[in-house]
Amino acid sequence: MALLFFSQRKPKKFKIKPRYYDEHKDRLAQSEARVRKELGIEENKKNTNSYDNIHNALFNSLDRNRQEKNSKMRLGIILGIFVIVIYLFFHYAG
């Protein structure tokens, strides 16, 4: 009886059963992989261009920020001129 207290329990086994299995899709993926391997086509084209993608995204965002800043500055200048014109109109008209 004392041995039962000190014995280690075995871990519960994990069994997963897929709910949906598409045999045709699996065979198609295997044949595509085999053909790509035979032809020597690389599958990881994204990783080689990741630097370019990051670089382009950074400069696109900087360009967008610059355009927004310029448009805000233009709007401020136009509003400033408009306020000055209205002030001068009421100052000299009255």
What is the mean pLDDT of each successive set of 10 residues along the chain, which is 94 residues long? 70 81 90 89 65 84 89 95 95 84
Indicate whether 70 belongs to any domain: yes
pLDDT number for residue 29 = 93
Instruction: Look at the chain and report how many structural domains it folds into.
Output: 1
Angle (CA) 34-30-16 rounded to 5° is: 145
Calculate the alpha carbon distances from 87 to 73, 74, 76, 79 in Å: 21, 20, 16, 12
The C-alpha atoms of residue 20 and residue 26 are separated, in whole angstroms, by 12
pLDDT number for residue 39 = 87
Indicate whether 55 belongs to any domain: no
> Which residue bears the tokens 């069994």?
15
38 contacts 30 by C-beta, under 8 angstroms: no
Indicate whether 5 belongs to any domain: no
Indicate whether 91 belongs to any domain: yes
Indicate whether 27 belongs to any domain: no
Indicate whether 83 belongs to any domain: yes
The pTM assigned to this predicted structure is: 0.40
> Residue 73: which domain range?
65-94
Residues in the chain, total: 94
